[in-house]
Chains A and B, each alone.
Chain A
């Protein structure tokens, strides 16, 4: 079915089709509508979900943890300060290996206050043990959210699916909605590994550990993330087989004979796509690598892919404020360390707080990458 949906509408619609057991959420711009629309589905009886309108994001994630630990397929939605307020609880969900799934409309972090798109929120949570997926379009967000449920449960890892705030959350696009029953059948019922409410087998969830066991628990969690990528890929393949459209961990766009490519995540990939087309028309050997999966980091795939090019421009829609480079650059550079045929890496930061990023900006980055120039450590695109 062809539908016109904003990103938020599409995420809420995906949630309706997923029909989670429990949703506990708190509104925040720009993801508020996801919760609003979903609560309509609840009140109109279109889902079986128990919806809890909690009093903060911190409580939202705490309630999600309680629910997921009690054998329920559990979701929430948030962004920005909301995800930051959840920060403490994100680590606990990760440590307990609970497959909670959260769509976020990515937004900058205060101060100064700003409600527009960048990836500061999700990237600040990168070490919390959550899988993270970034999307270019509304339909990709919709598909990714449905897939994330299966991935999270298969890997026993929680997952964030990011659509860029306003740019996707509030912009209407055409999506081809999947058949609801088919989605529900594909997901099947949630089969938890353990359940707090199993009265016959009382368990203690979230014990204290000392120097003797903490490290082993963490090592096991690390292994869970380390071995997640093939499972993520299996789910992607299964989705494609079932629904007839699919995605990779990363997407190469016109990279066949490229000398210089841009690597980035999120909606700006659309601008970069246009810029690549434009430069290609002029004979420029450029391409784009769109990274869809940030956690688990597909470091081997990045290494294999990026060593084919002479120059790679890495675009960060966030900054680590570490006096050096952005978070994505850091991870890409680490993935390439020690590889033969290392490309030259250029670092770009762009679009903070929703700052306009156009195909012209994207084209200039590709031109710079083609020329192999490296004027400064980081280029801050579009800053006045």
Chain B
């Protein structure tokens, strides 16, 4: 558990002045993740929004070492950096204990960088991979990814007169990563800053590779006013659209139990990307299917927490 008082005293490792959109969830997540770490950290990021808004030469928002190579290479580049560190340690050339954090959006994590992530984790490189999931390829102008939820309008799954947005459900990246026998994996969202900070600290303390999936609302791609990021983030958790839980050494634990599990419409309504679902002839059915999917996943998660808690 972190206290705001303590966090406020820590130096900002992700500085102000970067070029993210107002209300960007991803920049909040990165700042919180870096604030959570107590040890020296070295970071990696892929090509994407984060890289563009934080590292346009000659400016940098990073107060810690950072390397960016390509879009699909956050985990594979981190493999090399972490291996180099082990070499230096082995040869007595480096004394400090360093933690490694690799970032990736949902594109770089679920899709184009998935192979590199799976490989790096299988090889047990000791690093924390943080997926800042905004449910689409936002940097290229809001295209669908395999993290885009059913029904969402993106520029490659548009809300057409015939087809109302994305036809498929999202990929369950948490379960896929847990299947890699991780010591720790957690899912959370930026509204729950304390949960996020705690998860980062647990992940960095765990042995071996660890994974965090952080829902980061995107005002531009999700089409809501930039001052509602935290509210939308909280609605994702309170509707159980985005279950907040962790997998800690084989034990599932739900970390955020909504006082009252809200209907998914509460999450969908504030967002322009779901607007068509309330007018399209098939919209009702799509919303019903989204709700069914959420309920089924939530019930399964509760069961896991009960049996494997």
Chain A residues with a Cβ under 8 A of chain B: 21-22, 24, 48-50, 52-56, 58-59, 62-72, 74, 88-89, 92, 196-199, 202-210, 213
Contact = CB atoms under 8 A, between A and B. Distances in A.
B108 to A, nearest CB: 12
A63 B58 contact: no
Contacts of A92: 69-70
Contacts of B58: 207, 213
A205 B69 CA distance: 8
Interface stretch (B83-91, B242-250, B297-305): B83-91
A206 B87 contact: no
Contacts of A207: 55-58, 60, 68
Given A204-B55, A206-B67, A213-B57, A197 B84 contact: yes
B85 A70 contact: yes
B268 interface: no
Contact of B88 (A56, A63, A197, A213): A197
Contact of A206 (B69, B82, B90): B69
Interface stretch (B112-120, B216-224, B280-288): B112-120
A59 B115 contact: yes
B232 to A, nearest CB: 28
10 contacts: A52-B123, A55-B119, A58-B72, A59-B73, A63-B83, A92-B70, A197-B98, A198-B65, A204-B62, A207-B60
Contacts of A54: 76, 79, 119, 123
Given A63-B83, A209-B57, A53 B123 contact: yes
- The 10 A-B residue pairs whose C-beta atoms are closest, nearest first, are A66-B80, A55-B119, A70-B84, A63-B80, A62-B76, A59-B76, A67-B80, A62-B73, A206-B68, A66-B77
B160 to A, nearest CB: 34
A24 B83 contact: yes
Contacts of A22: 80, 83-84, 87
Interface of B: 40, 42, 44, 51-52, 55-58, 60, 62-70, 72-73, 76-88, 90-91, 94, 96, 98, 115-116, 118-120, 122-123
A202 B40 CA distance: 11
B103 to A, nearest CB: 13
Contact of A66 (B52, B60, B69, B123): B69
B66 A204 contact: yes
Contacts of B88: 70-72, 197
A22 B84 CA distance: 7
Contacts of B55: 204, 206-208
Q: Which one of A48, A49, A66, A89 has the greatest number of beta carbons of chain B within 10 Å? A: A66
Contacts of A213: 57-58
A197 B55 CA distance: 18
B76 A58 contact: yes
Contacts of B84: 21-22, 50, 66-67, 70-72, 74, 197
B175 to A, nearest CB: 20
Given A74-B80, A89-B70, 8 more contacts: A48-B91, A52-B79, A56-B119, A67-B84, A88-B70, A202-B66, A203-B65, A209-B56
Contacts of B85: 70, 197
Contacts of B73: 58-59, 62, 89
Nearest to A202: B65
A227 to B, nearest CB: 24
A193 to B, nearest CB: 15
B109 to A, nearest CB: 15
A49 B91 CA distance: 10
Given A55-B118, A70-B85, A197-B98, A62 B80 contact: yes
A205 B60 contact: no
Contacts of B86: 50
B70 A70 contact: no
A207 B54 CA distance: 9
Instruction: Select the residue from A53, A89, A202 with max chain B CB neighbours within 10 A.
Output: A202
A50 B88 CA distance: 10
A199 B69 contact: no
A89 B68 CA distance: 12
A54 B81 CA distance: 13
Contacts of B81: 66-67, 69-70, 196-197
B87 A50 contact: yes
A55 to B, nearest CB: 3
Nearest to B40: A199
Given A58-B72, A67-B81, A208-B52, A197 B87 contact: no
A233 B296 CA distance: 69
Nearest to B51: A208
A70 B81 CA distance: 6
Contacts of A21: 84, 87
A184 B88 CA distance: 18
B56 A208 contact: yes
Nearest to A24: B80
Contact of B116 (A62, A72, A208): A62
A88 to B, nearest CB: 6
Contacts of A203: 65-66
B44 A66 contact: yes
B82 to A, nearest CB: 8
A71 B91 CA distance: 13
A54 B119 CA distance: 7
A256 B85 CA distance: 54
A199 B65 contact: yes
Contacts of B78: 66
Nearest to A48: B91
Contacts of B44: 66
A196 B60 contact: no
